Amino acid sequence: MKNREAKFQFRRSGETVSKHFNNVLNVVIRLENVFFRKPEPIPETSTDSRWKWFKGCLGALDGTHIDVHVSEGDRARYRNRKGDITTNALAPCTPDMQFTYVLAGWEGSAADGRILRSAIIQENGLKVKKGNYYLVDAGYTNGEGFLAPFRGQRYHLNTWSSGRGPQKAEEYFNMKHSSARNVIEQCFGVLKKRWAILRSPSFYPIRTQNNIILACCLLHNFIRNELPYDPLELEEFEDTNNDEDDEDLRSEVERITTIGTSNE
């Protein structure tokens, strides 16, 4: 709600409401090293029906558009291809739907590949050890550290319904890839269902709005780590993922620092 509405509800001045809101927000963000999940690669011995095909995989990565309020002069930069004013937030997650990193703040018009490139070159950015990778969609470059599906082939889960199974190896790969990568769509769905502040623009400066996105992701991890079952997990996402088969990466660890197409 707007600050002036909150001050009447709590019977405090707008300055007091704003002060405590920002204090709590900053405290939550300072806990990112505690709340962000450290990714673990899928082991050789995995029997998970969705993930056993992707040994060494750390999870899935994608971006999501979140509506924001910006000044009139910045609206053109934040307007996405659908015409909405958004920020494009990039995030990878683990197979158990916990975020490992979040980069919020890019304009809605920014391409996914450009945001990913920014994430991996930042000093405290996204770290992917050589030999490991995230599953990504066709909007990203298929290269070292990021495994995309085959282009020009059926991919989305609903294309495999009604007994229309894969007809060739590329389609079979895409089916398995889509089934596993869908975890990031689940993650974003649960996140937006839980936090109403992410479903419509909030009345804060854009920097604060970006911090709110980060804080919501951190609290999402905290809740999923503490509860044996997340009551807000979307059942429709669970249904689409039923397969027919059944120390921090520091400088001493060689990690991926560039984005580019890989023949491998």
pLDDT digits (tens, 9 = 90+) for 249-261: 333 456 666 667 7
Higher pLDDT, 92 or 6: 92
Predicted confidence (pLDDT) at residue 59 exceeds the cutoff of 90: yes
Average pLDDT over residues 239-258: 48
Rg value, the chain, Cα: 20
* 108 pLDDT tier (thresholds 50, 70, 90): very high
Total number of domains constituting the chain: 1
Q: Is residue 166 part of a domain?
A: yes
- DSSP for 184-236, please give it: HHHHHHHHHHH-GGGTS--SS-HHHHHHHHHHHHHHHHHHHHH-SS-TT--HH
Tell me what pLDDT residue 256 has. 64
Tell me what pLDDT residue 1 has. 75
Buried b (16+ CB within 10 A) or exposed e, 174-185: bbbbbbbbbbbb
Average pLDDT over residues 165-190: 91
pLDDT digits (tens, 9 = 90+) for 62-106: 999 999 999 999 999 999 999 999 999 999 999 999 999 999 999
Angle between helices 3-10 and 14-30 (to 10 degrees): 100
Q: Is residue 151 part of a domain?
A: yes
Q: How far apart are CA 66 and CA 251, in angstroms?
A: 33
Q: Is residue 165 part of a domain?
A: yes
pLDDT digits (tens, 9 = 90+) for 19-37: 999 999 999 999 999 999 9
HSE toward the beta carbon, residue 241, CA cutoff 13 A? 21
Tell me what pLDDT residue 173 has. 93
Q: Is residue 189 part of a domain?
A: yes
Contact 87, 78 (CB under 8 A): yes
How far is residue 150 from each of residues 113, 121, 133, 175, measured CA to CA in Å?
17, 26, 16, 10
Tell me what pLDDT residue 167 has. 83
Q: 211 is written with which tokens? A: 């911090």
| C-alpha dihedral (190, 195, 196, 202), degrees to nearest 10 | -130
Q: Is residue 128 part of a domain?
A: yes
Please count the other Cβ atoms lying within 10 Å of the Cβ belonging to residue 196: 10
Tell me what pLDDT residue 232 has. 76
Q: Is residue 23 part of a domain?
A: no
In percent, the amount of the chain with pLDDT more than 70 equals 87
Tell me what pLDDT residue 240 has. 44
Helix (H) or strand (E) segment spanning residue 122: none
Q: Is residue 245 part of a domain?
A: no
Tell me what pLDDT residue 227 has. 85
Higher pLDDT, 160 or 180: 180
- Which spans in 65-109 are helix H? 75-78
Tell me what pLDDT residue 247 has. 37
* 248 pLDDT tier (thresholds 50, 70, 90): very low
Q: Is residue 24 part of a domain?
A: no
Average pLDDT over residues 176-197: 93
Average pLDDT over residues 134-138: 95
pLDDT digits (tens, 9 = 90+) for 205-238: 999 999 999 999 999 999 999 987 877 774 444 4
* Containing structural domain, residue 154: 31-240
